[in-house]
Amino acid sequence: MYQADISEIKAFLISVLERSTTPQGSTWLAQKMEMVSSGSAKEKDLYLAFSSAPRFVGKEKLNLADAEVAQANSLRTGFNPSRWTADQTARTLLLLSLPAQDADTFVKQVETLFGTADMGELVALYGSLPLLPYPERYSKRAAEGVRTNMGDVYEAVALENPYPSEYMEEAPWNQLVLKTLFVGKPLYRIYGIEQRSNPELTRMLSDYAHERWAAGRPVSPELWRPVGPFIDEAILRDIQKLFSQPSELEREAAALACAQSSFGPARELLNAYPDLKQKVEKGEINWLLIGRKFEEQA
């Protein structure tokens, strides 16, 4: 689907990493990247460099400026390393330095790293998937990442990562969205969530909401973000319940879901709440704002 320009990505990552590591760390990384790219390194040399990166470059956050986040997205749509650390960046640069002329050899090296990785290494590997050559070869690996019980690794797969929306099959994608809610993370951090909305996901989310309601537990207003285009008579009853909730965010979510629906009764229901309808039309209500407000309240 999408292949990033590796040379441009590497130049960008090197430039932003310099602020978050020492000159000695930069020198060490440059030497290891040259060794890896030359093709002369033994496999153990790559794995040793990959595992020892934190010791040499540190773990400081990149702290990107807004313009740099925008630049990352321009280099590869959806690429957002704003939460990356120095060691994650260094490990990604090592991966991008691997000779990639032979697909099977390249993919085998990446898979070997996955097979022996600790948590920090898995974070780097999953975060790098949208940047790597032959990205279509890692869809099953990404689906495996959705099943992890390691929080940092799960976030690397699911959040601020364009890979799942572009390459995952529908079933693991739906599990990713549902699990993000289950572990209490915001849906606004899932790239491409609207584009991958589907009827089965809508059913799963409705069932999850009913389980939460039955247990007397709160339901994130973001749950309804992928639901709007697939509202039917059954889902409409859920939306009616939302409109009756005391939470303003839930009522706003109901209004947004109705506004995104082509189902006539949903549009009529929205007309019954003219104040909310007007806010939607003026752009005063959107899913990003709802997600961030709910995150602050949680």
57 and 107 belong to one structural domain: yes
At 177, give phi and psi (nearest 5°): -65, -45
At 61, give phi and psi (nearest 5°): -70, 155
Q: Which residue has the tokens 């009616």?
A: 240
Helix, strand, coil percent values for the chain (each to nearest 5): 70, 0, 30
153 and 210 belong to one structural domain: no
- For residue 132, give the nearest of 111, 115, 154 by alpha carbon: 111
161 and 233 belong to one structural domain: no
Domain total in the chain = 2
132 and 15 belong to one structural domain: yes
Assigned domain for 175 exists: no
DSSP 106-173: HHHHHHHHHHH--HHHHHHHHHHGGGSSSGGGGHHHHHHHHT---HHHHHHHHSS-SHHHHH--HHHH
Q: Which residue has the tokens 């960046």?
A: 89
Domain boundary among 114, 136, 168: 168
Q: Tens-of-pLDDT digits for all 298 residues of the chain?
A: 567 899 999 999 999 999 999 999 999 999 999 999 987 767 788 899 999 999 999 999 998 999 999 999 999 999 999 999 999 999 999 999 999 999 999 999 999 999 999 999 999 999 999 999 999 999 999 999 999 999 999 999 999 999 999 999 999 999 999 999 999 999 999 999 999 999 999 999 999 999 999 999 999 999 999 999 999 999 999 999 999 999 999 999 999 999 999 999 999 999 999 999 999 999 999 999 999 999 999 8
238 and 163 belong to one structural domain: no
Domain boundary among 168, 189, 213: 168
236 and 275 belong to one structural domain: yes
End-to-end CA, the chain: 37
DSSP state of 61: B
Q: pLDDT value at position 1?
A: 58
3-state secondary structure of 85: strand
246 and 110 belong to one structural domain: no
Assigned domain for 234 exists: yes
Q: pLDDT value at position 204?
A: 98
- The tokens describing 131, both together, are 């940047």
- For residue 127, give the nearest of 99, 102, 144, 152 by alpha carbon: 152
17 and 79 belong to one structural domain: yes
Under a CB-based contact definition with an 8 Å cutoff, are residues 98 and 106 in contact?
A: yes
Determine the structural domain holding residue 208 and report its residue range: 180-298
Cα–Cα dist 190/121, whole Å: 21
- The tokens describing 14, both together, are 């090197």
37 and 144 belong to one structural domain: yes
- The tokens describing 227, both together, are 């639901």
For the purposes of burial, counting CB atoms within 10 Å of the CB of 265, is it exposed (0-12), middle (13-18) or buried (19 or more)? middle
98 and 202 belong to one structural domain: no
Domain boundary among 119, 147, 168: 168
Under a CB-based contact definition with an 8 Å cutoff, are residues 93 and 13 in contact?
A: yes
Cα–Cα dist 45/259, whole Å: 56
Strand partners, 61: 85
Q: pLDDT value at position 298?
A: 80
Q: pLDDT value at position 44?
A: 86
Q: pLDDT value at position 250?
A: 97
Cα–Cα dist 273/269, whole Å: 7
Q: How many CB atoms lie within 10 A of CB 201?
A: 22
- The tokens describing 218, both together, are 């709160």
Helices (DSSP H) in 215-285: which residue ranges? 233-243, 248-259, 264-271, 274-281
Assigned domain for 174 exists: no
Cα–Cα dist 294/126, whole Å: 27
131 and 239 belong to one structural domain: no
Cα–Cα dist 280/154, whole Å: 33
Assigned domain for 173 exists: no
141 and 93 belong to one structural domain: yes
